[in-house]
């Protein structure tokens, strides 16, 4: 970026949100194009591009708006006059986990191209030289950090750029100097990692020294996959002394965690996966330390080796990085199983069950629930539901598939939306025709409808939706009853009154009638026969008393069933 002029793009997502600095560019046309793209993607958004000219005499920037679009204008901007301050003050600070993570994020493209990690960059002069020769990579990285730092600060971007450039130059100079002065320990080809780690631990116990030796060893490995194998070999060769062993293992763990924090590094660990579902299966096995799982059969040997280490309660940093990858992959918009919705649903359920069981502070249950709720919402998109119901043999099977989806969804809002799909399918004229006037016998159609209602009542829908759906299935059942006259058929003939009452109650309690008006109608008819003169007389007979006890038991059962629907 030019030291005199640059263009800042500010973005406001909607009226309730605040203005935020999105990017700083040195090209006016690119800045305006970015602003137009942002506002085009967000109908409620507003954007502004300002030209920032640095006055070297007064050491300040002068801001002039050059483009605005959207519902709101930015208004007069308060000039930032605060002093820029960084959390990292010395080159040693760049070796801290948070700083290395920032370096990884702002230089991801370059790291993946050269197949290296931040820890190596901080200890290898050849990598530093490569980065400086790459053109604007380093400059753009500094710019990204400066913009992010200035966003919530009262200091301007330029102040942060200046501080960051000074820190970067000090760090690079130190690495070059340590290399020239041979202060960076080497890793002889035939040396054992255990001997090197023990010697460094006994000499100065400096992580910097051990990391430099490890970086020297990894410079011979040109791909992430080879680096992972080399690091696992180091993990298999640790000092016998407990303190030295812990010292060495901690560094190996963090080196490996940095490799798999990159998408390319994770792919090198997992190997080729046919879809997102297989990626998540392998990540779940690694997190759980299940090295013998079928999902890892076709994975590279590094995956199985790491899983064994995690099973042995080693490599906590790697396990934490795997947990981060799991959440990131779950939140991707891609399908788990692009070729089959039913396979996707099954896999999502299996993953949720497995991960929730082994959830801990590294992979919190609430974060998992949130991720699976988000993925559940995608299963309810109209095109996915259409695919799920495709090739169903009729409305009853469509309801089967929809209702079966409920136990695989996470989140009350998602279950509420599914209830809407069930309600819509049940109320369709096609569904009514199948149940009320279908080819199957009336009792068969009623039994199918009752089975569907039973699944609804056992489900974990929001209470209001559950009761409403149960009532809808009951209403459809009443239409079948009215159309088929099935109750009248049970009551017809010259059978004893108690037998008619028993037959009606068996329909209501045996899964042939939905709970609600259908079962209440059967109950009312049964009581009418029971209280009739003929029924009372039959109840006094010897065999009538046994029938009466059976009837009383069914009436109690029916009362309990009806209580479920309020």
Residue pLDDT, tens place only, 249-264: 999 999 999 999 999 9
CA–CA separation, 137 and 218 (whole Å): 23
| pLDDT, average across residues 454-475 | 95
Q: What is the pLDDT of residue 135?
A: 72
Q: What is the mean pLDDT of the chain?
A: 89
Band (74; pLDDT cuts 50, 70, 90): low
User: What are the tokens at 165?
Assistant: 């450039």
Q: What is the pLDDT of residue 79?
A: 58
Whether the per-residue pLDDT at 98 is higher than 60: the answer is yes
Whether the per-residue pLDDT at 54 is higher than 90: the answer is no
User: Which one of 7-21, 61-75, 452-466 scores highest in mean pLDDT?
Assistant: 452-466
H or E segment at 555?
helix 542-563
User: What are the tokens at 286?
Assistant: 């690694």
261, 334, 404 from 155: Cα distances, Å = 31, 40, 56
Query: What are the two backbone dihedrals, phi and then psi, of residue 293, each rounded to the nearest 5 degrees?
Result: -65, 145
| pLDDT, average across residues 220-240 | 96
User: Which one of 16-20, 169-173, 209-213 scores highest in mean pLDDT?
Assistant: 209-213
For residue range 267-295, what is the model confidence (pLDDT) as tens digits?
999 999 999 999 999 999 999 999 999 99
Q: What is the pLDDT of residue 231?
A: 97
Dihedral, CA atoms, 20, 26, 32, 37, nearest 10 degrees?
A: -70
Q: What is the pLDDT of residue 2?
A: 43
Task: Quickly list H helices, 380-411.
Answer: 382-389, 395-405
| pLDDT, average across residues 56-63 | 64
Helix or strand or coil: residue 475? helix
Contact assessment for residue 133 and residue 14, using Cβ atoms and an 8 Å cutoff: no
Contact assessment for residue 250 and residue 313, using Cβ atoms and an 8 Å cutoff: no
Please count the other Cβ atoms lying within 10 Å of the Cβ belonging to residue 281: 23
Query: What are the two backbone dihedrals, phi and then psi, of residue 460, each rounded to the nearest 5 degrees?
Result: -110, 45
Contact assessment for residue 394 and residue 431, using Cβ atoms and an 8 Å cutoff: no
| pLDDT, average across residues 361-386 | 93
| pLDDT, average across residues 286-312 | 96
Q: What is the pLDDT of residue 197?
A: 95
Band (162; pLDDT cuts 50, 70, 90): confident
User: What are the tokens at 119?
Assistant: 């820890």
CA–CA separation, 432 and 409 (whole Å): 27
Q: Which residue has the tokens 């209280």?
A: 531
The rounded percent of the chain whose pLDDT value lies above 70 is 96
Band (75; pLDDT cuts 50, 70, 90): low
Whether the per-residue pLDDT at 59 is higher than 60: the answer is no
CA–CA separation, 61 and 49 (whole Å): 15
- 425-443 CB burial, b ≥16 within 10 A, e <16: bbeeeebbebbbebeeebb
Task: Give this prediction's pTM.
Answer: 0.77
CA–CA separation, 409 and 378 (whole Å): 10
| pLDDT, average across residues 123-149 | 86
Q: What is the pLDDT of residue 73?
A: 65
User: What are the tokens at 498?
Assistant: 């108690």
H or E segment at 67?
strand 60-70
Band (355; pLDDT cuts 50, 70, 90): very high
Band (222; pLDDT cuts 50, 70, 90): very high
CA–CA separation, 88 and 167 (whole Å): 8
39, 86, 144, 166, 376 from 149: Cα distances, Å = 24, 8, 9, 16, 36
Q: Partners of 533 in the beta sheet?
A: none
Burial of 203 (0-12, 13-18, 19+ CB in 10 A): exposed
Q: What is the pLDDT of residue 28?
A: 86
When comparing pLDDT for 146 and 195, which is higher? 195
Burial of 250 (0-12, 13-18, 19+ CB in 10 A): middle
Residue 532: partners with Cβ closer than 8 Å, 6 or more residues away:
497
Whether the per-residue pLDDT at 4 is higher than 80: the answer is no
CA dihedral sign of residues 51, 56, 57, 60: positive
């Amino acid at each position: 970026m030019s030291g005199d002029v640059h263009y800042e793009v500010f973005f406001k997502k909607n009226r309730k949100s605040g203005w935020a600095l999105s990017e700083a560019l040195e090209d006016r046309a690119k800045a305006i194009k970015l602003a137009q793209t942002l506002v085009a993607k967000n109908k409620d958004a507003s954007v502004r591009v300002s030209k920032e000219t640095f006055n070297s005499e007064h050491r300040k920037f002068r801001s002039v708006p050059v483009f605005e679009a959207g519902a709101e204008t930015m208004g007069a901007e308060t000039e930032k006059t605060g002093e820029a301050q960084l959390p990292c003050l010395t080159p040693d600070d760049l070796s801290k986990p948070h700083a290395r993570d920032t370096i990884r994020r702002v230089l991801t493209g370059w790291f993946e191209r050269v197949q290296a990690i931040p820890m190596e960059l901080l200890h290898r002069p050849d990598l530093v030289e490569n980065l400086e020769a790459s053109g604007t990579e380093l400059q753009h990285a500094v710019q990204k950090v400066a913009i992010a730092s200035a966003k919530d600060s009262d200091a301007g971007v330029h102040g942060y750029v200046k501080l960051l450039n000074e820190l970067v130059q000090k760090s690079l100079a130190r690495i070059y100097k340590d290399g020239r002065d041979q202060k960076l320990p080497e890793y002889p080809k035939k040396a054992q990692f255990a001997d090197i780690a023990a010697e460094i631990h006994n000499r100065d116990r400096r992580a910097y020294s051990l990391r430099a030796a490890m970086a020297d060893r990894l410079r011979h490995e040109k791909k992430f996959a080879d680096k992972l194998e080399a690091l696992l070999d180091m993990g298999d060769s640790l000092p016998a002394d407990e303190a030295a062993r812990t010292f060495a293992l901690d560094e190996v763990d963090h080196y490996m965690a940095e490799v798999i924090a990159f998408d390319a590094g994770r792919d090198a660990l997992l190997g080729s996966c046919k879809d997102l579902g297989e990626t998540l299966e392998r990540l779940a096995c690694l997190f759980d330390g299940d090295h013998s799982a079928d999902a890892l059969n076709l994975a590279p040997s590094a995956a199985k080796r790491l899983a064994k280490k995690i099973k042995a309660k080693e490599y906590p940093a790697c396990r934490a990085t795997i947990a981060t990858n799991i959440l990131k992959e779950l939140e991707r918009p891609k399908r788990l199983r692009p070729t089959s919705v039913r396979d996707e649903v099954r896999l999502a359920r299996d993953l949720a069950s497995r991960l929730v069981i082994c959830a801990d502070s590294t992979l919190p249950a609430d974060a998992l629930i949130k991720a699976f709720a988000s993925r559940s919402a995608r299963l309810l998109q109209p095109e996915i539901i259409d695919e799920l119901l495709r090739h169903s043999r009729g409305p009853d099977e469509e309801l089967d598939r929809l209702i079966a989806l409920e136990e695989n969804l996470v989140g009350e809002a998602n279950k509420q939306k599914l209830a809407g799909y069930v309600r819509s399918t049940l109320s369709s004229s096609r569904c009514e025709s199948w149940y009320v006037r279908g080819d199957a016998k009336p009792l068969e159609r009623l039994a199918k409808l009752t089975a569907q209602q039973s699944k609804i009542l056992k489900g974990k829908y929001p209470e209001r939706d559950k009761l409403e759906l149960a009532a809808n299935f009951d209403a459809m059942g009443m239409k079948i009853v009215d159309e088929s006259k099935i109750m009248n058929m049970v009551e017809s003939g010259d059978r004893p009154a108690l037998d008619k009452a028993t037959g009606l109650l068996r329909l209501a309690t045996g899964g042939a009638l939905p709970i609600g008006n259908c079962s209440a109608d059967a109950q009312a008819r049964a009581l009418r026969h029971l209280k009739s003169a003929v029924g009372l007389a039959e109840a006094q007979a010897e065999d009538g008393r046994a029938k009466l006890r059976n009837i009383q038991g069914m009436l109690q059962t029916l009362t309990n069933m009806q209580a479920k629907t309020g």
